[in-house]
Amino acid sequence: MLVAIPALMLSQQVDAASSRLQQIIDRGVLKVGTTGDWNPMTIRDPATNFYKGYDIDITTELAKDLGVTVEYVAAEWKNLVNGVVTDKYDMTGSASLNMHRARVAGYSQPYFYLAFVPVIQKKNMTRFNKWNDFNNVSVTVASSLGTVQESMVKEFFPKAKHNMIDSEVRDYQELLANRATVIVTSNVEAATITRKFSQLKIADVKGMRRPTPIAMLLPRDDQVWINYINHWVELKKTQGFFERIAKKWGLVHLER
């Protein structure tokens, strides 16, 4: 006796067989597009072509859980999405959620948030306990002209003195020279400069400002692959994996 297979079930079986997930398992390699120029997220050593960073730890763990090896494919920011669309790689490392990108590529669920934090001299750690402590006439805030931070600090700290500097000089240099009390920068850059300059610290204030979700770029129409990555992200969130890796690289991690 012949048994009819519902069209939907047959379609799902075909999708699973042709999914990027199955292709990765069959080939034994996960191809990840990464720029290698976003410290401490992804850092490439040009002498050895070796990659390290937050993204690298995450995608290495993903490959391990898939039972495959990982191959990093050099990418540029301007062509990052195109590499997914043209099958140059299976996914990317961290990329900010952007609706222009989402027109042509899929995203995993977020696992990190790019956001802004205050950075100060370590000696002032006990002086500032909340964001509003910086909104004071005794505080000098440095920011580079023409940057997002320039308008941001004016909005956040209207009562403070504003030290607007030429774009050729970095705002943290004013902080190092004691010509500023605080700067506001992304949690990613804050991790980089506080690792480089031990006298600087991220102020111990509650919360970050202007959070933007960070996720992996994936082929838009491969729902099987997207579902797998989303389940993996959810499991690793529950286990505290992303928080541990963020701490390793000095990143302020914001749970949502």
Decide if 145 is inside a domain: yes
The overall average pLDDT reported for the chain is 92
pLDDT confidence band for 18 (50 / 70 / 90): confident
Q: Above 50 in pLDDT, residue 11?
A: no
Contacts of 242 (CB under 8 A, 6+ apart): 58, 111, 112, 236, 253
pLDDT confidence band for 166 (50 / 70 / 90): confident
Range(s) of the domain holding residue 41? 20-112+212-249
- Residue 159's pLDDT is what? 98
Co-location of 34 and 120 in the same domain? no
The Cα-based distances of 176 to 28, 86, 121 in angstroms read 48, 45, 8
Decide if 220 is inside a domain: yes
Closest CA to 171 of 198, 157, 195, 153: 153
Co-location of 118 and 106 in the same domain? no
Q: Above 90 in pLDDT, residue 24?
A: yes
Co-location of 105 and 89 in the same domain? yes
Decide if 11 is inside a domain: no
pLDDT confidence band for 14 (50 / 70 / 90): very low
Co-location of 54 and 121 in the same domain? no
Decide if 133 is inside a domain: yes
Average pLDDT over residues 127-149: 93
pLDDT confidence band for 255 (50 / 70 / 90): low
Co-location of 25 and 95 in the same domain? yes
- Residue found under tokens 């989303």: 230
Co-location of 133 and 97 in the same domain? no
Decide if 101 is inside a domain: yes
SS3 of residue 55 by DSSP: helix
Co-location of 68 and 142 in the same domain? no
Query: What's 244's domain CATH number?
Result: 3.40.190.10
Co-location of 104 and 161 in the same domain? no
- Residue 6's pLDDT is what? 61
Decide if 256 is inside a domain: no
Decide if 58 is inside a domain: yes
Co-location of 24 and 108 in the same domain? yes
Per-residue pLDDT tens over the stretch 71-121: 999 999 999 999 999 999 999 999 999 899 999 999 999 999 999 999 999
Structural domains of the chain, count: 2
Q: Above 60 in pLDDT, residue 165?
A: yes
Closest CA to 229 of 71, 81, 90, 41: 90
Decide if 99 is inside a domain: yes
Co-location of 108 and 219 in the same domain? yes
Co-location of 142 and 172 in the same domain? yes
Co-location of 119 and 205 in the same domain? yes
- Residue 252's pLDDT is what? 84
- Residue 253's pLDDT is what? 73
Per-residue pLDDT tens over the stretch 167-191: 667 899 999 999 999 999 999 999 9
